[in-house]
Amino acid sequence: AQKITQTQPGMFVQEKEAVTLDCTYDTSDPSYGLFWYKQPSSGEMIFLIYQGSYDQQNATEGRYSLNFQKARKSANLVISASQLGDSAMYFCAMRDAGNNRKLIWGLGTSLAVNP
């Protein structure tokens, strides 16, 4: 069965430093997609970055980059130069291979950026 594992319930980082949020996945489907979302206290889900299983390069979006290690089945999110506004919940998700292509979610990591 497809599964997403986020093992860090909470993380702290100093402002302006980089932080890595861990995500491992399990799937037998050779074609899959991995997503990271940010959820601030307001509740909205903000798309951060996407990595396809066949993408040759690691995805990057501004201060966000995805450290994709296919053999290890890991898709860690790296946030560079942390800002106070980065404090939020972060969820890793994988697109299900079924017809509806629902997302399989990790439990999330709560990130707190300290000034």
Partner 1 sequence: GAVVSQHPSRVICKSGTSVKIECRSLDFQATTMFWYRQFPKQSLMLMATSNEGSKATYEQGVEKDKFLINHASLTLSTLTVTSAHPEDSSFYICSARQGVYGYTFGSGTRLTVV
Chain residues that interact with partner 1, rule: CB under 8 A: 33, 35, 42-45, 47, 50, 52, 89, 91, 95, 100-103, 105-108, 110
Tell me the closest approach of the beta carbon of residue 16 to partner 1, in angstroms. Answer: 27
Q: What burial letters (b/e) apply to 42-71, b meaning 16+ CB within 10 Å?
A: eeeeeebbebebeeeeebeeeebbbbbeee
Q: Between 107 and 112, whose beta carbon lies closer to partner 1? A: 107
* Token pair in block for residue 85: 């506004």
Tell me the closest approach of the beta carbon of residue 93 to partner 1, in angstroms. Answer: 8
Q: Between 78 and 96, whose beta carbon lies closer to partner 1? A: 96
Q: One-letter amino acid identity for 56?
A: Q
Q: Between 58 and 110, whose beta carbon lies closer to partner 1? A: 110
Antiparallel, parallel or unpaired: β 64-69 and 60-61: antiparallel
Tell me the closest approach of the beta carbon of residue 87 to partner 1, in angstroms. Answer: 14
Antiparallel, parallel or unpaired: β 10-14 and 109-114: parallel
